[in-house]
Amino acid sequence: MRSTLAALLALVSTATFAADLETQPKTAQLTLVELKEPDGQILSYRHLAGSIEVYMRGTRRAPEARIKLKIGSRPGFVELDINRGGISGLKPANRLGKDFLTYVLWAVSVDGRASNLGEITFDGDRPVPVNLTTPYQTFWLMVTAEPNYAVVDPSSEVILYSVSEGSPSDNKALTIGSSLFYFTHYSTYESAPADTANSAPNQLLQARKAVELASKSGVSAPKGEARATLKEEEYTREALTQARMFLNRAEAAYKTDPKSQDVIQFARTSAQSAENARALAMGAVGGILLRQLENEVANLRDELAKLQAVDPTAVASAASPPPLLVSSPPPLLVSSPPPLVVPSPPPLVKQPALWFAVAGWGVAIVLLFRRKTI
């Protein structure tokens, strides 16, 4: 009876843990995106003296797109300058799908980490010149279509990539022989045709889309009553609440005066806050997944300790294996030594290391059935 009770309590504990996982924000799987462009180059500007010209070429998504920029090494950072007329053949991003509203320039390190350098904006149909910096010294460049300017990870819609330096000279960057790839948590977006009839400012459209994506990422999932709320989860909810507040202000300002600067300012603040919430919820930044697992393992250990304190024999009988039976040797005509007695193994409760290992394997098995690992 006691062993049955202990087994039922352990089963309830496992079910509670699985239910908590269902109500928590869903972290996204980290995806590897490989750019199969033979002429793409990774360049090192570490020892560069002065500036050089670097070109970016369009992928099949935008075969006519080109970017010419100057890159120069400065103490502690690298400066990128796209002058007026340096961007050509690049059309608005909404032609690629309703989730795409702008372009972002990224510096990607050799190990696949992408850093958001800034947005490529448009004045009507004309791209606006931009001056950017990055602390990276060795990287390759790409432009991706994005739902907003503040994204933490790039989408898989690569529009342009860096190919080579411009005019040959002695002042050249070093070429690094490696394939072009990057990692992202944001690998899926809606590619259905966009509503091009919407006359709202692009910044307001970005804010709307950012709040929409953050809301779908699990930020607003209900708090679990059986577990303590993580600080990271509180931050995500606060960020989304702030994003919605600024979006409402931007919408109100747009109704009052569509050309007001308040529309742009409130909208960009809303997009930034919403993107912060989405990045936290999906695991693109922070350690929310790790904290969740640590808390759940600690809870399981506490429950096991309480069970042992209430009825140690119940836990011991449930955890201990059945006694090992050893049959007596058959009788012999000659005298034989006394039969070998094999002692029963000590109860599991007397082996804390093995007990916690079993608990850890139980958590791992639940996770294997509940989510994909990176």
Higher-confidence residue of 120 and 327: namely 120
Cβ-count burial 77-92 (b if 16+ within 10 Å, e if not): ebbbebeeebbeebeb
Per-residue pLDDT at 331 exceeds 50: no
Task: Please write the tens of the pLDDT for every residue from 64-106.
Answer: 999 999 988 888 889 999 987 789 999 889 889 889 999 999 9
Q: Which of these, 136, 84, 129, lies nearest to 108 by C-alpha position?
A: 136
As a whole number of angstroms, the distance between CA 42 and CA 328 comes to: 74
Distances (CA, A) of 157 to 92, 99, 271, 374: 14, 11, 20, 21
Per-residue pLDDT at 22 exceeds 70: no
* Three-state helix/strand/coil letters over 59-70: CCCCCCCEEEEE
Burial of 66 per CB tally in 10 Å (0-12, 13-18, 19+): middle
As a whole number of angstroms, the distance between CA 149 and CA 62 comes to: 19
Task: Please write the tens of the pLDDT for every residue from 286-298.
Answer: 654 444 445 555 6
As a whole number of angstroms, the distance between CA 17 and CA 369 comes to: 13
φ, ψ at 221 (rounded to 5°): -60, 145
Which residues are within 8 A (CB) of 103 and not within 5 positions of it... i.e. 6 or more apart? Answer: 90, 93, 119, 120, 143, 144, 145, 146, 159
Q: What is the dihedral of CA 164, 168, 173, 174, to 10 degrees?
A: 80
Q: Are 299 and 19 in contact (CB under 8 A)?
A: no
Higher-confidence residue of 306 and 257: namely 257
Q: Are 23 and 168 in contact (CB under 8 A)?
A: no
Rounded to an integer, the average pLDDT of 168-196 is 79
pLDDT of residue 324: 45
pLDDT of residue 299: 63
**What is the average pLDDT value for the chain, to the nearest integer?**
76
Helix axes 312-319, 2-23, angle to 10 degrees: 80
Rg of the chain in Å (alpha carbons)? 30
Split at pLDDT 50, 70, 90, the class of 353 is low
pLDDT of residue 263: 96
Rounded to an integer, the average pLDDT of 365-373 is 53
Per-residue pLDDT at 167 exceeds 70: no
Does this model's pTM top 0.85? no
At the top level of CATH, the class of 31-184 is: mainly beta
pLDDT of residue 165: 61
Which residues are within 8 A (CB) of 4 and not within 5 positions of it... i.e. 6 or more apart? Answer: none
Task: Please write the tens of the pLDDT for every residue from 236-259.
Answer: 889 999 999 999 999 999 999 999
Per-residue pLDDT at 321 exceeds 80: no
